[in-house]
Amino acid sequence: MCRQIAYLGPPVALGEVLLAPPHALHRQSWAPRCQRHGTVNADGFGVGWYAEGDPVPARYRRALPIWADLGFTDLARVVRSGALLAAVRDATVAGADGEAAAAPFAAGPWLFGHNGSIDGWPASVAAPAATLPAEELLALPARSDSALLWALLLHRLRAGDEPGQALSDTVLDIATAAPASRLNLLLTDGARIAATAWGDSLWYLTGPGERTVVASEPYDDDPRWHEVPDRTLLVATRADVLLSPLKEPPA
């Protein structure tokens, strides 16, 4: 169910992260190595990135497989950034809302992606959804479980919660309502990355220099990649990575 990656570090061409490595996100779209659910991520893709001096990210999203968009190679060759979030999608419901359902979702400085699925969607999450104001439910960018997760998370961020706390509380609410859900969430504002490992693979890489990558799986065989234990919150900057256990939902 999807592969995603976030990068913080010195400015690089998007392709250096997403296309060039031997097991980059581009290859993971048809040949993932660590994916536990699904085999091909061909239901769309997207990348969001930050330009120097502008806190609001740009996005490029398509409903087709990343390998089928020949123009993306040129874009990724010339666009440079010191922060990005990208994903390739294996849709829970094939074709639902097309490009609008492709990560990253965005609002203000934030980019967001979800790898996984909400068990029993949509009936199972009626209670968490009911906590959102009507105008926020009506503004969902797509009719998907990921879009609802984004709305719940964004509601907390706008209320002033720190990224890690917002992610933790969102995961706990959904896991309480739908215990078999897989909730690997990925969030960045261009200066920090926050992520959860909950039901699927998550890895991180630091260095050389002030550089941090958080991804569903390693894009190469560098021995500095570390797997994040399941039920864990990760919060990172360019220089530091902090791992904390996530609470289990009540029985």
- Give the residue numbers marked as catalytic: 2
Q: How many residues does the chain have?
A: 251
Q: What are phi and psi of 170, to 5 degrees?
A: -65, -45
Contact partners, residue 24, CB within 8 Å, separation at least 6 = 17, 18, 219
d(CA 173, CA 198): 13
What is the DSSP-derived secondary structure letter of residue 67?
G
Instruction: For residue 18, give the H/E element and its range.
Output: helix 14-18
Query: How far is CA 195 from each of CA 12, 133, 198, rounded to the nearest angstrom?
Result: 22, 25, 10
| 8 DSSP β-pair partners | 83, 212
Residue for token pair 């960045």: 188
Element (H, E) at 116: strand 110-117
How many H helices and E strands in the chain? 7, 13
Q: With beta carbons less than 8 A apart as the criterion, state whether 205 and 224 touch.
A: yes
Q: Which helix (H) or strand (E) holds 112?
A: strand 110-117
